[in-house]
Chain A
C-alpha cells in the first residue's frame, strides 16, 4: 500500500510568482484535503476535494485554488505569492463515506519559501 506523497519537497519562489504543489493520495482514497502550516503553528485547513469537486474551504483567499484528478491525485495552486505564504503545505487523503471520523493520512509536506 502506497502512502500519501507530495512534490516537490522544497520550493523557493519570489513575491508575485505562482506555484503548483502536487499530492498523490493513498491507494483507494477519494478525498484530499490541503493544510497550511506556518512555522510554530498548527496546520490550517485550506480546502478539501471529494471526487474531483471542492467539498469545503477554509479562510483562504481565492488565489489559493486546487484541482483533483480522476485518479484522485491533487494540485494546490497559489497565485500572486506573498511573503506570508511561506509555510509547510500538507496534503491528507481519506476515504470519505459521510463519516466525519474517517482518518486522514498525511503526506510529508512541501516546504515553500517566498522571498
Chain B
C-alpha cells in the first residue's frame, strides 16, 4: 500500500527564512507525488507534482521539491518565507488503484513569524 508521512505537524519560521517541510513516501511502484496547500476555510490548491520527469520540481509561489528515491523523500522548500505562506500543507501520493485516489499525509501547519 502507498502512504506518505509528514514529519512535524507544525513548523514555525521567521519571515525571510528558509522553509522546509518534510515528507517521506512508501510505494512499491514509481509514485506520483504532490504537495497541496490549504488556506483557512478554503479547499486545496496544487503547489507542485512529481510524475517521474525531473527530480527537482518547481511549483507556484516560489516553492520547489526534490524527489530522492534513495531516501524515499519529497521535501518541500522555499528559500525565503513570506507572511502569505502561512497555511496547511499536505504531501500526497497517487494510489495504485485505477481510481487514482489521492492519499494524503496528515498535514503540516506553517506559521510565519514577523
Which residue of B42, B44, B94, B105 is within 8 Å of A100 (Cβ)? B94
User: A38: shortest Cβ distance to chain B, in Å?
Assistant: 10
Let me know if B60 is at the binding interface, CB within 8 A.
no
Q: Is the interface of B mostly helix, strand, loop or mixed?
A: loop
- The reply to whether A55 and B32 contact each other, CB–CB distance below 8 Å, is no
A57 nearest CB neighbor, chain B only = B99
Scoring B residues 84 to 101 as 1 if CB is less than 8 Å from chain A, else 0, what string do you get? Answer: 000000101011011111
How many chain B residues touch the partner (CB < 8 A)? 25
How many chain A residues touch the partner (CB < 8 A)? 29
- The reply to whether A107 and B107 contact each other, CB–CB distance below 8 Å, is no
User: B15: shortest Cβ distance to chain A, in Å?
Assistant: 25
A–B complex contacts, Cβ < 8 Å, 10 sampled: A41-B107, A42-B104, A42-B105, A43-B102, A56-B99, A100-B94, A101-B51, A106-B43, A106-B45, A108-B41
